[in-house]
Amino acid sequence: MNNQILLILGMMLVTYIPRLLPFVIVSGKKLPSKLHQFLQYIPYTALGALIIPGVFSATPEMPHASLVGMGFAFIYAWYKGGIIIPVLGSIVVTFLMLLMKNGFVV
C-alpha cells in the first residue's frame, strides 16, 4: 500500500512539473505581441480537436444531423458569442434532425 502512494505521488510530480515550469519561467516577463496573439488561439484549437472528431461519430446513421448541429453552434457562436447556448442549441438541433428522420417517434 505504501508503494502505491509513493507511485501516485511520483506520477503527480512528473505530470505537474511540466505544467508548472512555463508559468514560473514566463511569469513577470512581457511576451512578444505575436506570441501572445498565437497563444490566445490555443484554447479554441484544443476544444475543436476534442469536439470535432466526436461530431462525426456521434450519429453514424445520420452524420448530416451532427453537421447541421455543428453548423448551428458555429454560426451562433460567431455572431453572438458564448458557449452555453451554442452547445445546447446544437444538441437540440441534432436531436430534432434525428426525430425528423424517425418520424417524430419518441
- Model's pTM, two decimal places? 0.57
Residue type, 67: L
Annotated domain spans of the chain: 32-101
Q: So what's the pLDDT on residue 12?
A: 94
3-state secondary structure of 104: coil
- CA pair distance 77, 65, nearest whole angstrom: 18
> Model confidence over 37-77: pLDDT tens digits?
888 888 778 878 888 888 878 888 888 888 899 899 889 98
